Structure 1
Amino acid sequence: MLLEKIKTPGLSHLSYLIGSGGKAAVIDPRRDCEIYLEKARAEGLEITHIFETHRNEDLITGSPVLAEMTGAKVLHGPNAAGEIAFAQTAREGDTFEIGQLTIEVLETPGHTDDHLAFVIHDREYADGPVGVFTGDALFVGDVGRTDFYPDRKREVAGLLYDSLQKLLALGDQAILYPAHGAGSVCGSGMAEREFSTIGHERRNNPRLQIGERKAFVEAKIAENHYQPPYFRLMERLNIEGAQAAPRVVRPKRLTLPEMRRATADHVIDLREPLAYAGAHFPGSMCLPVGMISAFAGWFIREGETILLVGSDEEQLSSAMSHLTRIGLDNVIGGYNGVVPAAGNGVAMNTIPMVDTDTVKSRLEGSDAGWTLLDVRDADEREAAAIDGSMHIYVGELNERWSELDKDKSYTLMCASGMRATVAAGWLASRGFGNIDVYLGSMGAWKAANG
């Protein structure tokens, strides 16, 4: 018997391969799905079923591709926003045999209308379910977001409450297998730990401590969540069925002359923020590899061309993987070597870093031509903010940059300076010249002010 978790870095997406008696099932596969077939073959298993907990918003499903590769049946829930072209509909009470395991379907709407959970029963140990694949309904330390239906916000929050009661009724012994871990955009309070049980969550998950349905609904509708533009692309592709992921381990290697001649909608510098701030190609934006999954979908639209700039081959390769999983894979090439380019006479731009004393001095000076721009999310801002600062979430600068005056000066801040550098890089790529970054940002401000 096999149950293996496959984690997708960046997206913090968790998918699973479960097998028994020569058969196997995959739960919520990612787009680059060869890994499931390879692992199943290594264990002598045939993939016969693919279960989708819901239509994902933050990544492209690999279900149609994996089904074509294996002949497996894809099962998806009812009430999807459109007919899932590559799946059959599974409903409450349906069961599927995987060797000595039985997979039972629970309808668990709330996060999305089509949401399902898949309960694992072992027929040789019949006293309660072994575990449950909870998708985006229940996480370790949190529950799913319910903001995708703004016209029905109270209804869907109530539906999630009811779905959670179904999951809790499975018994404390049931092991929890969610679709995401900490760092995912699908929840803000997830534990770093990726293992738990229904019993542990019943006792420790903050949202499950809200006993009354009405209070739970009020708590959910008061949450702040952001929806990057690429969510709409993921939703469409996960109904229609996307093509297989490109079999490219890195973008086409460009020489310096080729790189300078290339025309792309976006030039993305993959290096760490301080390296970008120290020297970068004019017009490039800062998007470190580890931040691509969180922010690329805010700034890049479907079909737009991308040119990647990195410091080594691993950065370029990792960036391609992250972009492919969210369908932004129109990469025309990659270039390594900002420092050698500077050595060849290419002019570079910089973004200055400023400290707490400088920020304090500017705030006290009340310079009408200068603004401290806080790009943290709304919850962070509500918890602590610097008087006199302006707030625009970093992702929303994708459009709201046009509200800012290019003739004025801006200091960008976040929690540490990482997201602030991403924001500064975006503004620089839009033609803002009077910008700098508060190094240490809110962390440094708190340290200096007790």
Structure 2
Amino acid sequence: MGTDTSQDQSESGPAILTIETPSLGDRSYLVHNGQTAAVIDPQRDIDRVLAVAVQAGVQITHVFETHIHNDYVTGGVALAEATGATYHVNGADEVSFARAAISDDDVVEISPTVRIRAIATPGHTYTHLSYALESAPAPDGEFESVAVFTGGSLLFGATGRPDLLGEDHTHDLVHHQFASAQRLAQELPDHTHVMPTHGFGSFCSAGSTGGTTASTIGQEKRHNPALTEEEERWVAETLAGLDVYPAYYAHMNAANTQGRGAPDLTTPEVADKATVAARIDAGDWVVDLRTRTAFAAGHVTGTLNFGLDGQFATYLGWLIPWGTPLTLLGDSAEQVADAQRELVRIGIDDLEGAAAGTPNEWTDKPLGSFERAVFADLAQVLHHRPVTVLDVRRRQEYAESHVEGAVNIPLHEILDRLDDLPAGEVWVHCAAGYRASIAASVMAARGVPVVAIDDSFDESAAAAGLPIVKAA
């Protein structure tokens, strides 16, 4: 996919290449000295990592895991098998695969002038490790920290969330997280580059990371609340700010402790018109990957719209009942392949089939459609006739600011709560339009008359003259 990019993050010393996965809000890293390389927190589709190594002309000799991930299936096991690299995982983690156990203050030599030191940073999980990248100008020179790979510990202006192991552990973990951030700030020089795995839209983040794309320990000391506030205040604010996270997270721990192999990205079986119809009738999920604009204009009735132009895997993984048979429909074979790649990252490996083309090639029946609108249109409509305004943002978003009288059903609850809506026409919105289109597709599939608002709530709702209720 064009959204997956790598770039050099180092001005001197070892090169640090960043491998982006924007749809999940994560980063992986490849560090090299021109000959040998180490990889930190690889995604499951390891062909991307291997391609970066080939382009750099280096051999991957070590793979490091900061923690047992909650938001994706790691590619660590598969990458180590493919390259013969040593796979470093915290020795305290109970896993079902071969690994080199690593723990606090252990040092791994990547080359005579490059090494990685483990730093225990519990908080996101109990066994979380960060890795300080240390280099020396010559084999007999003094090592100095260049960067620190912080996983789900210290993020840009925030930290990883402490509640993913359940309520019974959140209180202890949030205090661990604060102490871990403090430890990194105290032990590492201010010029050390901070290289987190999470925090670029990932729901593993606690607090906002904003649009920051790079930072150092010194910058975090000045701006990160975990380093500028007293512990009890920070803990209270962090706990108060925790919101829901995707349901598919519940399946990641088992996958990552068992050790999943490389994914099979073989092209799915082609689904013809009869097959698409049969799968919809059977209650399977048939997902249209096209943009929300294209879907609203015409789609196979009964299909659901999870556009590949948004956080596709996050929201599909959040809503789909785990194990439900899945068929994909896309503009092109490339779009289907990109979606398949996104899905294996969260452990959805088996597709029933796929089809590429246009809706008229997927059905002989009349196409379904629904209107798209902006908030100014809603303001006009409310002057003339009663409609239900449905806000599918999360509860915290709704509580901060919402249209007066709007019904709040967060997107992740929509499948179970459609009966809570009054009968009649529904105008659905979110923050920018992506989630609203998913909800509109669910309602359209069930015959609910719906209009999808494709507009910015923050920029347009109040400006359109709609009455807005804000938190005190």
Q: CA deviation at 1:229?
A: 1.8
Moved more, 251-260 or 149-158: 251-260
Answering whether residue 442 of structure 2 is matched by residue 426 of structure 1, we say yes
Moved more, 252-261 or 216-225: 252-261
Q: Partner residue of 1:389?
A: 406
Answering whether residue 263 of structure 2 is matched by residue 245 of structure 1, we say yes
Amino acid aligned to 1:337: G
Answering whether residue 193 of structure 2 is matched by residue 150 of structure 1, we say no
The alpha-carbon distance between structure 1 residues 58 and 225, as it changes in their structure 2 partners (threshold 3 A), is same
Amino acid aligned to 2:402: A
> How many Å separate the matches in 2 of 1:440 and 1:43?
42
The alpha-carbon distance between structure 1 residues 358 and 16, as it changes in their structure 2 partners (threshold 3 A), is closer
> How many Å separate the matches in 2 of 1:14 and 1:434?
40
Moved over 6 A (4+): none
Amino acid aligned to 2:217: I
Report if aligned partners of 2:276, 2:286 keep a CA contact under 8 Å in 1.
no
- Map 1:287-302 → 2, pairs under 5 A: 287-289=306-308, 290-302=310-322
Amino acid aligned to 1:134: T
Report if aligned partners of 1:10, 1:292 keep a CA contact under 8 Å in 2.
yes
Secondary structure of the corresponding residue to residue 159 of structure 2: coil
The answer for unaligned runs of 5 or more in structure 1 is none
Q: Partner residue of 1:335?
A: 355
Q: CA deviation at 1:411?
A: 2.0
> How many Å separate the matches in 1 of 2:136 and 2:221?
26
Report if aligned partners of 2:389, 2:428 keep a CA contact under 8 Å in 1.
yes
Q: Partner residue of 2:4?
A: none
Q: CA deviation at 1:197?
A: 0.8
> How many Å separate the matches in 1 of 2:103 and 2:176?
16
Q: Partner residue of 2:9?
A: none
Which digits, 9 at most, give the CA deviation of each residue in 1:254-309, with x for residues without a partner? 44444444567211111111211121111101100033122011122443221111
Answering whether residue 417 of structure 2 is matched by residue 417 of structure 1, we say no
Q: CA deviation at 1:374?
A: 0.7
Amino acid aligned to 2:105: G
Answering whether residue 7 of structure 2 is matched by residue 7 of structure 1, we say no
**Alignment partner of 1:225 out of 243, 260, 263:** 243
> How many Å separate the matches in 2 of 1:61 and 1:413?
34
**Alignment partner of 1:95 out of 68, 84, 107:** 107
Q: CA deviation at 1:220?
A: 1.0
> How many Å separate the matches in 2 of 1:134 and 1:314?
34
Secondary structure of the corresponding residue to residue 463 of structure 2: helix
Which digits, 9 at most, give the CA deviation of each residue in 1:97-147, with x for residues without a partner? 000112111110111112100011113363641110000111223221112
State TM-score, norm by structure 2. Answer: 0.86
> How many Å separate the matches in 2 of 1:406 and 1:252?
41
Secondary structure of the corresponding residue to residue 388 of structure 2: strand
Secondary structure of the corresponding residue to residue 55 of structure 1: coil
> How many Å separate the matches in 1 of 2:349 and 2:404?
41
Report if aligned partners of 1:300, 1:328 keep a CA contact under 8 Å in 2.
no
Answering whether residue 467 of structure 2 is matched by residue 448 of structure 1, we say no
Q: Partner residue of 1:20?
A: 33
Q: Percent identity?
A: 31
Q: Partner residue of 1:438?
A: 453
What is the total number of aligned residue pairs between the two structures?
442
Answering whether residue 391 of structure 2 is matched by residue 371 of structure 1, we say no
Q: CA deviation at 1:15?
A: 0.8
State TM-score, norm by structure 1. Answer: 0.90
Q: Partner residue of 1:316?
A: 336
Q: CA deviation at 1:225?
A: 2.2
Q: Partner residue of 1:265?
A: 284
The alpha-carbon distance between structure 1 residues 78 and 385, as it changes in their structure 2 partners (threshold 3 A), is farther
- Map 1:97-176 → 2, pairs under 5 A: 97-99=109-111, 100-124=113-137, 126=142, 128-148=144-164, 149-169=166-186, 170-176=188-194
**Alignment partner of 1:83 out of 95, 109, 112:** 95
The alpha-carbon distance between structure 1 residues 313 and 162, as it changes in their structure 2 partners (threshold 3 A), is same
Report if aligned partners of 1:301, 1:328 keep a CA contact under 8 Å in 2.
no
Moved more, 32-41 or 53-62: 32-41
Report if aligned partners of 2:175, 2:235 keep a CA contact under 8 Å in 1.
yes
Which digits, 9 at most, give the CA deviation of each residue in 1:334-376, with x for residues without a partner? 223335449x852111122345466446657895xx5321111
The alpha-carbon distance between structure 1 residues 90 and 204, as it changes in their structure 2 partners (threshold 3 A), is same
> How many Å separate the matches in 2 of 1:39 and 1:352?
44
Which digits, 9 at most, give the CA deviation of each residue in 1:134-184, with x for residues without a partner? 001112232211121312322211100000011112120111111135222
Report if aligned partners of 1:132, 1:176 keep a CA contact under 8 Å in 2.
yes
Q: Partner residue of 1:205?
A: 224
Report if aligned partners of 1:413, 1:441 keep a CA contact under 8 Å in 2.
no
> How many Å separate the matches in 1 of 2:183 and 2:74?
26
Amino acid aligned to 2:97: A
Answering whether residue 297 of structure 2 is matched by residue 284 of structure 1, we say no
Moved more, 232-241 or 260-269: 260-269
The alpha-carbon distance between structure 1 residues 276 and 422, as it changes in their structure 2 partners (threshold 3 A), is same
RMSD of equivalent CA atoms: 2.6
The alpha-carbon distance between structure 1 residues 166 and 435, as it changes in their structure 2 partners (threshold 3 A), is same
> How many Å separate the matches in 2 of 1:127 and 1:76?
23
Amino acid aligned to 2:339: A
Which digits, 9 at most, give the CA deviation of each residue in 1:66-98, with x for residues without a partner? 121122222222554x43534343111111000
Q: CA deviation at 1:16?
A: 1.1
The answer for unaligned runs of 5 or more in structure 2 is 1-13, 467-472
Report if aligned partners of 1:407, 1:434 keep a CA contact under 8 Å in 2.
no
The alpha-carbon distance between structure 1 residues 411 and 127, as it changes in their structure 2 partners (threshold 3 A), is same
Report if aligned partners of 1:316, 1:334 keep a CA contact under 8 Å in 2.
yes
Amino acid aligned to 2:407: M
> How many Å separate the matches in 1 of 2:163 and 2:382?
36
> How many Å separate the matches in 2 of 1:445 and 1:22?
55
> How many Å separate the matches in 2 of 1:127 and 1:179?
24
Q: CA deviation at 1:378?
A: 3.0
